């Protein structure tokens, strides 16, 4: 039994099909790269919630063949929303800490 070596973290492209990580490109200079990443994350969150809502409506109306898809979509939307909320809270905490610093 052979064990294959791990690939470098820089080549990690994200979990297949998860939508959490989309690329391992280096960050752009300035704030435009961060703004684009943040906008993309919010768009992804909205799309996950929309999919979850559509599958939930299908489940309630009896048009859903596989309840597992609805459960997985709802869980993905919930975890992504919790992640976005945590990132927002950390950003607010960092801003407040910076404002408390003395010159």
Tell me whether residue 92 is in a domain: yes
Tell me whether residue 55 is in a domain: yes
- Answer left, alpha or beta for residue 19, where phi above 0 means left and psi between -120 and 50 means alpha: left
Q: Which long-range contacts (CB under 8 A, 24 or more apart) does 67-72 make?
A: none
Domain total in the chain? 1
- How high is the pLDDT of residue 16? 47
Tell me whether residue 6 is in a domain: no
What the block records as the tokens of 84 is 């976005």
> How confident is the model over 41-67, as pLDDT tens digits?
999 999 999 999 999 999 999 999 889
- How high is the pLDDT of residue 35? 84
**Residue 74 reports pLDDT greater than 60:** yes
Tell me whether residue 8 is in a domain: no
Tell me whether residue 57 is in a domain: yes
Tell me whether residue 25 is in a domain: no
Tell me whether residue 19 is in a domain: no
Mean pLDDT of all residues in 23-33: 63
Q: What is the domain extent for residue 89?
A: 30-100
- How high is the pLDDT of residue 103? 61
Tell me whether residue 13 is in a domain: no
> How confident is the model over 4-22, as pLDDT tens digits?
655 554 443 444 455 555 5
∠ Cα 58 51 85 (to 5°): 130
How does residue 3 score in pLDDT terms, banded at 50, 70 and 90?
low
- How high is the pLDDT of residue 23? 52
């Amino acid at each position: 039994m052979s064990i294959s070596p791990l690939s470098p973290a820089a080549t990690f492209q994200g979990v297949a099909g998860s939508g959490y990580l989309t690329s391992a490109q280096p960050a752009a200079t300035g704030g435009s790269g961060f703004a684009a990443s943040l906008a993309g994350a919010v768009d992804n969150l909205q799309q996950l919630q929309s999919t979850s809502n559509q599958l939930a409506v299908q489940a309630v109306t009896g048009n859903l063949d596989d309840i597992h898809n609805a459960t997985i979509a709802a869980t993905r939307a919930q975890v992504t929303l919790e992640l976005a909320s945590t990132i927002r809270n950390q950003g607010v905490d960092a801003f407040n800490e910076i404002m408390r610093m003395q010159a």
